[in-house]
Amino acid sequence: MVSRVIPVDTFDLTIFGGTGDLARRKILPGLYRRYLAGQMPDASRIVGAARSDMDDAAYRDEVREALKEFVEPHLVDPEALEGFLGCVHYVAIDATGESGWRKLRDLMRADCVRAFYFSVAPSLFGALAERLHEHGIADPQSRIVVEKPFGRDLASARSLNRTLAEHFDEAQIYRIDHYLGKETVQNLMALRFGNVLFEPLWNSQYVDHIQITVAETVGVGGRGGYYDKSGAMRDMVQNHLMQLLCLIAMEPPSQFEPDAVRDEKLKVIRALDPVRPEDIVRGQYERRGDTPSYLEDVEDGDSRTESFIAMKIHVSNWRWAGTPFYVRTGKRLRARQSEIAVVFKDAPHSIFGAEAGRHRNVLTIRLQPNEGMTLVTTIKEPGLGGMRLIDVPLDMTFAEALGAENEVTDAYERLIMDVIRGNQTLFMRGDEVEAAWAWTDPMIERWSTRDDRPFRYEPGSSGPEESSMLLHRETRRWREIRE
Ligand code: NAD
């Protein structure tokens, strides 16, 4: 099966922060892959913009090195590489100063899509928006892409929205949550709204509970200082896990259109109950051997920031009343694993008797690794000896089922192409982001004022014991985090 490449219009994409980590690891490799796929029209250009003083040739050398480091080796073809680099330019620019803007304006062309990727610290978003406007570089069709974090609370997100709105319409603003660009996350919508099979069961009558897990094996390492100001709630729950929860919980939109989808997601966020303190477990990883603890990583022995959080969340509406959503995310856990598990209720009556055991259907959507889905179904154990039941997974690993050509399009490359196409479906709207902060703020405020100390957990575990208790006390249990 061969991937379909839908052509996009010729574009000029300016990457502010073009020499930064995100540009090198994700944005430029993603664009190169699109170039290889034949999706980047010949006349399109990529303009790196950052503070360092260098010319096109020096920047192309940097980009070449980044591609060799971060693109899959079999895709690094010298001829293609040079062809791609021919589209790459550089402008030395200071987001807060006046140098470079005239040069950037002179580079812009009238007849193509203009997009500006703000891959810089959020404190510079306002200055960039202002200068793009002042210098007449952005036109009414231009798009800006803003990275996370979008604020650190409701007040800062509101203020950022206001600043951007002074210079750009909402239809021009693309707030990235790269989780939304993942193949499986979109498949979640295809699964729910493209099949008749699941929708009738997708409610509290048939679903016992839902688990969302995003587990990482890495610690905060070199980003300690930054991370300690944020923590798992701000860094992961308010954005990525919230988006996953919305896609699982939302009502079917009338169309797969940006505002129809985002309206439904917003309704979910607004239907979230405040989470009770006893339904939140926060943790910090300990030291193991030579690997430093969280407190050592952030160099603050008294830090109260969480590197792990687990919560029980209620969506207060007709569809979900009584079905809890358990979410957890953390660093230095047993395995890198992101998945959503929809755990269905027991059959109302077992015709096979008590010894047949308790069996449940579980639909698991794996975001990483091995993107795919598994539906655990109950069948008869083969052989003689009466009716013994076992649970077997119906497994669909996408790479196997759909063939290697369709393997993993990186979230960033898909999202960047959506920006060029002008499709905002997979981007967060300003009101969504604000609603998510409005829900998280009181919880963060509560544990900050009470000065709550996170529990400790062992690196390589599934988080603090107390997180297991969150489910045990309701005779449920977390799915295992496994290698
Ligand atoms: P980085 O520190 O590696 O790079 C920052 C870039 O901004 C550099 O190119 C630098 O030259 C440029 N820059 C700094 N000050 C500037 C100024 N005054 N004018 C013009 N350019 C300036 O940062 P990064 O890791 O690439 O992150 C960029 C953005 O993306 C941040 O908002 C970050 O939160 C977000 N983000 C990064 C990652 C990641 O994996 N790196 C993931 C998610 C979100």
pLDDT of residue 403: 67
Higher pLDDT: 398 or 119? It is: 119
Tell me which of 154-168, 313-327, 397-411, 439-453 is least confident: 397-411
Which ligand 1 atom sits closest to the C-alpha of 18?
Answer: 9
**DSSP state string for 428-440:** B-HHHHHHHHHHH
Sheet holding 88-92, edge to edge: 88-92, 45-50, 11-16, 113-118, 143-146, 173-175
Using the mean position of ligand 1's atoms as its centre, give its distance from the Cα of residue 121 in Å. Answer: 5
Q: Is the pLDDT of residue 252 over 90?
A: yes
Split at pLDDT 50, 70, 90, the class of 482 is confident
Split at pLDDT 50, 70, 90, the class of 7 is confident
Tell me which of 81-90, 120-129, 383-392 is least confident: 383-392
Mean pLDDT of all residues belonging to the chain? 93
CA 101 vs CA 108, 158, 200: distances in Å: 11, 27, 55
Percent over 70 (pLDDT), the chain: 97
Pocket test for ligand 1, best of 15, 16, 21 (most atoms within 8 A of CB): 21
The mean pLDDT of 189-217, rounded to a whole number, is 96
Using the mean position of ligand 1's atoms as its centre, give its distance from the Cα of residue 15 in Å. Answer: 10
Measure the CA–CA gap between 26 and 410, rounded to whole angstroms.
8
The mean pLDDT of 327-353, rounded to a whole number, is 94
Handedness of CA 53, 57, 61, 67 (dihedral sign): positive
Q: Please, what's the b/e burial string for 263-276 (b: 16 or more CB within 10 A of its CB; e: otherwise)? A: bbbbbbbebbeebe
Which ligand 1 atom sits closest to the C-alpha of 26?
Answer: 40
Q: Which secondary-structure segment (H or E) carries 283?
A: strand 280-285
The mean pLDDT of 201-229, rounded to a whole number, is 95
Using the mean position of ligand 1's atoms as its centre, give its distance from the Cα of residue 454 in Å. Answer: 30
Q: Is the pLDDT of residue 2 over 50?
A: no
Which ligand 1 atom sits closest to the C-alpha of 118?
Answer: 29
Ligand 1, atom 7, lies closest to the CA of 17
What own/partner pairs with CB < 8 Å and gap ≥ 24 does 474-481 have? 474/324, 476/208, 476/209, 476/326, 476/343, 478/211, 478/213, 478/326, 478/328, 479/211, 479/213, 479/339, 479/341, 479/362, 479/364, 481/213, 481/215, 481/333, 481/334, 481/335, 481/337
Using the mean position of ligand 1's atoms as its centre, give its distance from the Cα of residue 190 in Å. Answer: 34
The mean pLDDT of 135-144, rounded to a whole number, is 94
Tell me which of 80-84, 149-153, 342-346, 396-400 is least confident: 396-400
Task: Specify the length of the chain in residues.
Answer: 483
pTM score, whole prediction = 0.94
Q: Amino acid identity of 453? A: R
- Report the number of secondary-structure helices (H) and strands (E) in the chain: 17, 15
Pocket test for ligand 1, best of 120, 124, 160, 220 (most atoms within 8 A of CB): 120
Q: Is the pLDDT of residue 41 over 80?
A: yes
pLDDT of residue 405: 53
Q: Amino acid identity of 431? A: D
Sheet holding 280-285, edge to edge: 389-397, 372-380, 362-368, 337-344, 207-215, 325-330, 308-313, 280-285, 455-457
Pocket of ligand 1 (CB under 6 A): 16-23, 50-51, 93-96, 119-122, 124, 147-149
pLDDT of residue 334: 97
pLDDT of residue 349: 87
Split at pLDDT 50, 70, 90, the class of 406 is low
Using the mean position of ligand 1's atoms as its centre, give its distance from the Cα of residue 50 in Å. Answer: 9
Using the mean position of ligand 1's atoms as its centre, give its distance from the Cα of residue 120 in Å. Answer: 3
Which ligand 1 atom sits closest to the C-alpha of 122?
Answer: 32
Using the mean position of ligand 1's atoms as its centre, give its distance from the Cα of residue 18 in Å. Answer: 8
Identity of the highest mean pLDDT range in 38-47, 242-251, 395-404, 474-483:
242-251
Considering the candidates 240, 349, 359, 472, report the single residue annotated as catalytic.
240
pLDDT of residue 1: 44
Q: Is the pLDDT of residue 353 over 90?
A: no
At 124, list the tokens: 């510079």
| Residue in 448, 428, 430, 424 with CA at minimum distance from that of residue 159 | 430
CA 151 vs CA 63, 125, 167, 275, 438: distances in Å: 30, 11, 18, 21, 12
pLDDT of residue 232: 98
pLDDT digits (tens, 9 = 90+) for 53-111: 999 999 999 999 999 999 999 999 999 999 999 999 999 999 999 999 999 999 999 88
Ligand 1, atom 30, lies closest to the CA of 119
Peptide bond preceding 149 in cis form (omega within 30 of 0): yes
Tell me which of 277-291, 312-326, 360-374 is least confident: 360-374
Using the mean position of ligand 1's atoms as its centre, give its distance from the Cα of residue 232 in Å. Answer: 20
Does 240 qualify as catalytic in the annotation? Answer: yes
pLDDT of residue 357: 80
Tell me which of 54-63, 321-330, 374-383, 432-441 is least confident: 374-383
pLDDT of residue 4: 65
Percent over 90 (pLDDT), the chain: 83
Distance of alpha carbon 283 from the chain centroid:
22
| SS3 assignment, position 468 | helix
